[in-house]
Every structure is written in structure tokens, then in C-alpha cells.
A and B are shown apart, each in its own frame.
Chain A
Amino acid sequence: NAGVTQTPKFQVLKTGQSMTLQCAQDMNHEYMSWYRQDPGMGLRLIHYSVGAGITDQGEVPNGYNVSRSTTEDFPLRLLSAAPSQTSVYFCASSDLRGLGANVLTFGAGSRLTVL
């Protein structure tokens, strides 16, 4: 099925460990983004990309790195995990061609626990 695929679904890390959350989309969308979702705080933008080779910071970028080497893939790297990064992470993509609203297609999420 076409859409946004995230892996892994669940991950437990110890403080200080590093890991990469994978995100792939097969809709040829230029725009890709990473959000974190915490109780009562909605979705907060971590990093985003408007095309291969272009990335930018969102609202809460500290502690996370991204790269966009292809249109399809947008991995999120945690360099040294901290308990404050315990959250559910969502990757989302959209087609920004035209002047319409930025309508996002989300992945199913990755639940990360940092001990």
C-alpha cells in the first residue's frame, strides 16, 4: 500500500545510546517532516525537508539530526538519547506543488522509551 512507512514500531534505549528512526514514502512527495507527540502537547515539529539535500529545523530540534539524501527517505537520528526524548515519533509527508494547503500523510508512529 502506498504511504509512509516508519520503523521500528517500538524501541527501548538506555540514556546515552544512539539510534535512527527510519521513514520512507513512496508517493514522490517533496516535503517530509518529523514530529513528536507527548500527552497534552499535540504534535511538535522536530525537523523538516522540502526536497533531497535540503533540511531545516522545526520547533524542537535539539538532540536530533536528519538528512535527506533521496526523495523517498528521511531518517531521524538521536545522537545521545535522554529520558526527555521518550515520546511517540511521527513521520509525515506531503506534496507541496501548487498553492494549496500542506496536507500531511502520516506514518503509524514509532514509540521510543529512554530509560
Chain B
Amino acid sequence: TQLLEQSPQFLSIQEGENLTVYCNSSSVFSSLQWYRQEPGEGPVLLVTVVTGGEVKKLKRLTFQFGDARKDSSLHITAAQPGDTGLYLCAGGPFVGSARQLTFGSGTQLTVLP
């Protein structure tokens, strides 16, 4: 069974601060996705990374896939209240026709104005 551990579980910061969320596993994944979920809504995809060492930027968000494809990080620069939400990472397998995702338990981010 593949497991993904996210840290921290909860994070509360002031507007303008920087933060990093981590997603770690002992398993190797073919791809790593990050989703953001707002209260009362379903998760929405932010990014997919598929190459070891890959870095993708989405405005103030920077995503990195580890060289060994076992971990990923999400860095937010100058956080804003609109960044508040539950951040979920999800790993994709190398085998299986349905390509089932393994989800981490999530990081609840609160950005205070």
C-alpha cells in the first residue's frame, strides 16, 4: 500500500508570510498532483508534476517534485487570505489501468489578514 504523508497538518500564518507544505512517501510515483479544497466544495486541481526534479510555478505558488519521485513540496510566497484552504497532494502509480491516486491527509492553511 502506497502512503503519502503531508506536513504540517495545520498551518496558520499572517498575510505576507511565506510557507512550505511537504508531501512525503517511501513509494515512487509516476506523477504527483496538488489540489486545493475550499469549505463546502470539492478539491480543485492546482498542478500535476510528472518528471523527477520538475519545478512548476503558478503565480505565487511553486511546486517541486523530488528527484527520486517520492516527495513533493508546495511553496507559497507572500501568502494572501485567498490562499486559505485544504491542500491535498495525490500520487499516481506506475501500474494499473485505472491509475488510482493515493491522497495525502491534507494541510489546512489559514492566512490571517
A-to-B contact residues, CB < 8 Å: 4, 31, 35, 40-45, 48, 50, 56, 58, 90, 92, 96, 100-109
Q: Which residues of A sit under 8 angstroms from B60, Cβ to Cβ?
A: none
**Closest Cβ–Cβ distance, residue B111 to chain A (whole Å):** 21
Nearest CB in chain B to that of A90: its residue = B42
B45 interface residue per 8 A CB criterion: yes
B100 touches A108 (CB 8 A): no
Q: How far apart are the CA atoms of A67 and B36 in the complex, in Å? A: 29
Mask of B23-46 contacts with A, CB within 8 angstroms, 1/0: 000000011010100001111110
Closest residue of A by beta carbon distance from B93:
A102
Minimum CB–CB distance from B86 to chain A (whole Å) comes to 9
- Given contacts A42-B104, A43-B88, are A108 and B99 in contact (CB under 8 A)? no
Task: Tell me the bound Cα distance from A64 to B18 in angstroms.
Answer: 42
From the candidates B9, B42, B90, name the one contacting A40 in the complex (CB within 8 A): B9
- Asked whether any CB of chain A lies closer than 8 Å to the CB of B106, the reply is yes
Query: Contact: A96 with B99, CB < 8 Å?
Result: yes
User: Which residues of A sit under 8 angstroms from B30, Cβ to Cβ?
Assistant: 101
15 A-B pairs with C-beta separation under 8 A: A35-B103, A42-B103, A42-B105, A43-B90, A90-B42, A96-B99, A100-B50, A101-B31, A101-B92, A102-B100, A103-B48, A104-B45, A106-B44, A109-B40, A109-B42
Tell me the minimal C-beta distance from A37 to chain B in angstroms: 9
Interface centre among A4, A102, A105, A108 (most CB of B within 10 A): A102
Q: A101-B99, A107-B42 are in contact. List 8 more A-B contacts (CB 8 A).
A: A4-B42, A90-B43, A96-B98, A102-B92, A102-B98, A102-B100, A104-B101, A108-B42
Within the complex, the shortest CB–CB distance from A94 to chain B, in Å, comes to 8
Interface residues of B in 62-106 (CB under 8 A from A): 88, 90, 92, 97-101, 103-106
Evaluate contact between B40 and A101: CB separation under 8 angstroms: no
B99 CB to closest chain A CB (Å) equals 4
Q: Is the CB of A106 within 8 A of B43?
A: yes
Interface centre among A42, A50, A58 (most CB of B within 10 A): A42
What chain A residues lie within 8 Å of B100 (beta carbons)?
Answer: 45, 48, 58, 102
